[in-house]
Amino acid sequence: MDLNGQHILVTGASRGIGAAIARHLMASGARLVVHYNRNRAGAEALLEEFPGSASVALGANLELPREVSELFNRSLQELGHLDSVVLNAGVFLPHPPGSDLAEWWKIWRTTLAVNLDAAGILTKLALDHFMERSGGRLLYIGSRAAFRGETDAFLAYAASKGGLTSLSRSVARSYGRYNIKAFTIAPGFTRTEMAETFIREKGEKPLLEEIALPALTIPEDIAPLATFICSGQMDHATGTTIDMNAGSYMH
């Protein structure tokens, strides 16, 4: 896939799924804004792998609406325009039912702010930009949790991903006539740094028992699909949610 000339913003791209997507996009010739929150070193290390790409790293705390809008505006300043926005950034924070209400609500609000509110702001800004350019693509990294639910400690996470999926479909339905496309990739349990804590505590066995394949999904399994979507070769599948969960719905 040749993405030379494509300009793309990827949020949460300093590690995990976002970093794998960013790496694959740059390897395909795209010029990126690699967004990070605290992990500037990770974002810059990723850029060093592609010294000729002219991609840049930009930091922003997506809990803060002002920084979200500044991220978009700075991305346009750096790249000139955007062809796609990959909305990957997210948090997975527990707030079990036995929690104090104030603490439970704090985690709820943080999760919704990062996972859904920031995506909403970036969607609005991207739509305005794409309307001026007569088209563009939005790719949302959702979750199987939007469809099968999550455990009682992660209600906010499941709610945020459900909202993200509906947002993507609404954009595809409402803006397709303007040549604006929207897609969702819905991973299952993916072996990222965030997931390693669970694996250390519980082991891989319970995770392998709920999927059809003999190995857990890794970020590099998801990245080629994101690149394919950004290439434009899936445009007539706009509004689609693509499951990447190693067959876990069948278990």
List, for residues 147-163, the tens digit of each pLDDT value.
Answer: 999 989 999 999 999 99
Q: What is the mean pLDDT of residues 87-111?
A: 96
Q: How far apart are CA 219 and CA 18, in angstroms?
A: 8
* Alpha-carbon distances, residue 193 vs 212, 218, 219, 231 (angstroms): 22, 10, 10, 28
d(CA 138, CA 181): 6
pLDDT score, position 69: 98
Q: Per the domain annotation, does 47 fall within a domain?
A: yes
Instruction: Enter the DSSP assignment of 59.
Output: E
- Is the distance from CB of 151 to CB of 170 less than 8 angstroms? no
Q: Report pLDDT digits (tens) over 202-233.
A: 788 888 988 999 999 999 999 999 999 999 99
Kindly state whether residue 179 falls inside one of the protein's structural domains: yes
Instruction: Tell me if 185 is assigned to some domain.
Output: yes
Dig out the tokens for 36 from the structure: 């990070």
Q: Residue 1: inside a domain, yes or no?
A: no
Count of CA atoms in the C-beta half-sphere (13 A) of 126: 31
**Structural domain for 196, as ranges:** 7-250
CATH number, domain with residue 58 = 3.40.50.720
- Lookup: tokens for 150: 């999550």
Evaluate if residue 174 carries a pLDDT over 90. Answer: yes
Residue 150 lies inside a defined structural domain of this protein: yes
pLDDT given at position 202: 77
* C-alpha 213, offset from chain centre: 23
Is 171 part of any domain? yes
Tokens of 91: 């948090």
Q: What would the mean pLDDT of 90-102 be, rounded to a whole number?
A: 94
23-62 pLDDT, tens digit each: 999 999 999 999 999 999 999 999 999 998 899 999 999 9
194, part of any domain: yes
The average confidence (pLDDT) of the chain is 95
Can you tell me whether residue 213 is helix, strand or coil?
A: coil
Number of domains in the chain: 1
Q: Which residues pair with 8 in a beta bridge?
A: 32, 84
- CA dihedral over 44, 49, 50, 51, signed as positive or negative: positive
Percent of the chain residues topping a pLDDT of 90: 87
Tokens of 17: 């799924």
pLDDT at site 196: 77
- Residue 251 confidence (pLDDT) above 80: no
Q: Tens digit of pLDDT for each residue in 188-205?
A: 989 887 777 778 877 888
Q: Is residue 2 part of a domain?
A: no
- How far apart are the C-alpha atoms of 246 and 111, rounded to whole Å? 25
User: Are 12 and 19 in contact, with CB atoms under 8 Å apart?
Assistant: no
